Amino acid sequence: MGSQVRNAVHDPALSVQITARRPMLYAEGGSGSADRPGFVASASSLSTLGEFLFVVQDSANWLAVIHPDGSVSSLPLPRGPGGVRVYNDQRHNTDEKADLEACVIVDGDDGPELIAFGSGTGESSCSVVRIRGVDRAPRAAEVSAHFCDAALFYASLRDNRHFTGGRLNIEGAIALDGDRILLFQRGNASPDQGEAVNATAEVSWSALKAHLDDPSSVPPPALEQVTRYELGEIGGVPLTFSDAEYLGGGRVLFSASAEEPKGTDGGVVGSAIGLIEPGGEVRWGAIHDEQGAPFTGKIEGLSFPPDDPSKIRFVIDDDDENAPSEIYDAVLSPGFGVEGQGR
């Protein structure tokens, strides 16, 4: 399995139409004492549980909860160094952020848990956050969260060069069944960092949980089924994984963004939504905005609303720390084959 490389193709039968967008503003507003801005500042990944949509952020230790009526509330994650929860250029503390870039709902000891993964691009982002009680959200008093010591786990990921190439950057995670988590590596390494690799790999949740519970005695789980991908490009810029959702039946829906590596003169060219089929076929389609023009944003996370498998929700990263992140509603074309798809 370690030698697999899957090549994606652009499929005109796949397309995504944006129907609406709205800023994510906390219903309770901002709080200086809690170090909470009045809005979701840096949305990076989404997970749906029941009627609620959970949003993690890469530059803020807050979990946003989107309610069925569209309102947004906040749940605090533990404070970081210096007692802060927000990391930005104004504070000159971005090198201390947890950089949570992926989240997934798994079976915990006392019900569903939301697990958030740091990107692993730096020392502070080698974190796994376990958030318990999410099935009882939005009752904040019944939700608990803590950062786990995951340094050895991330070191094992980084050492797997077939998975990471030159630079570890976890951007997505999905639950395949009761125990397997599929991690998505974003291949946006710059030339001085080594080989840019898009890849997926499976890890046992039960083994990872045992390691996080006792990292000094229980070794981190090994990666399995490592698979590399060549995703294609938009405007000459390579597409790289940014998030995913499991459709069931071995089918995976993924998002990918086309962005020049940091340190270059380029920026974001656009994003795509694609399919990984159980037989190995990989296809992706273009995204269009409300007016039908090509969408040029950088998708950071995606999920499904609970009522319609032909629709998706996603968030983007516009790198503006003073503006609220927006959530988008979009419709998948029939070519995705998601109508009636079990998940």
Q: Tell me: pLDDT of 113 over 90.
A: yes
pLDDT at 66: 94
pLDDT digits (tens, 9 = 90+) for 175-189: 998 899 999 999 987
Q: Looking at the domain assignment, is residue 173 inside a domain?
A: yes
pLDDT digits (tens, 9 = 90+) for 226-257: 999 999 999 999 999 999 999 999 999 999 99
Could you tell me the two tokens for 150? 């995951």
Q: Looking at the domain assignment, is residue 341 inside a domain?
A: no
| Mean pLDDT, range 278-289, rounded to an integer | 96
| Mean pLDDT, range 26-50, rounded to an integer | 95
* d(C-alpha 300, C-alpha 58), whole Å: 10
| The total number of residues written for the chain in this structure | 343
* d(C-alpha 250, C-alpha 243), whole Å: 16
Q: How confident is the model at residue 262 (pLDDT cuts 50, 70, 90)?
A: low
Q: Looking at the domain assignment, is residue 342 inside a domain?
A: no
Q: Looking at the domain assignment, is residue 264 inside a domain?
A: yes
| Mean pLDDT, range 188-205, rounded to an integer | 88
Q: Is 66 left (phi over 0), alpha (psi -120 to 50) or beta?
A: beta
Q: How confident is the model at residue 343 (pLDDT cuts 50, 70, 90)?
A: very low
Average pLDDT over the chain, rounded to an integer: 92
Q: Looking at the domain assignment, is residue 54 inside a domain?
A: yes
User: What residues have CB less than 8 Å from 313, skipping those under 6 apart?
Assistant: 46, 53, 302, 303, 304, 305, 327, 328, 329, 330
**Of 17-26, 130-139, 225-234, 275-284, minimum mean pLDDT range:** 130-139
Q: Tell me: pLDDT of 205 over 90.
A: yes
Q: Tell me: pLDDT of 312 over 70.
A: yes
Sign of CA dihedral 133, 218, 169, 160: negative
pLDDT at 3: 53
Q: Tell me: pLDDT of 337 over 60.
A: yes
Name the residue type at position 196.
A
- Domains contained in the chain, number: 1
Give pTM, 2 decimals. 0.95
The domain in which residue 25 lies consists of 5-336
| Mean pLDDT, range 93-111, rounded to an integer | 94
pLDDT at 308: 81
**Can you give the CATH number for the domain in which 225 is found?**
2.120.10
Helices (H) and strands (E) in the chain, counts: 3, 21
Q: Looking at the domain assignment, is residue 176 inside a domain?
A: yes
Q: Tell me: pLDDT of 192 over 80.
A: no
Q: Tell me: pLDDT of 153 over 70.
A: yes
Q: Looking at the domain assignment, is residue 306 inside a domain?
A: yes
239 and 257 in contact (C-beta within 8 Å)?
Answer: yes
Q: Looking at the domain assignment, is residue 343 inside a domain?
A: no
| Mean pLDDT, range 286-290, rounded to an integer | 96
Q: Tell me: pLDDT of 1 over 70.
A: no
Could you tell me the two tokens for 298? 């950088």
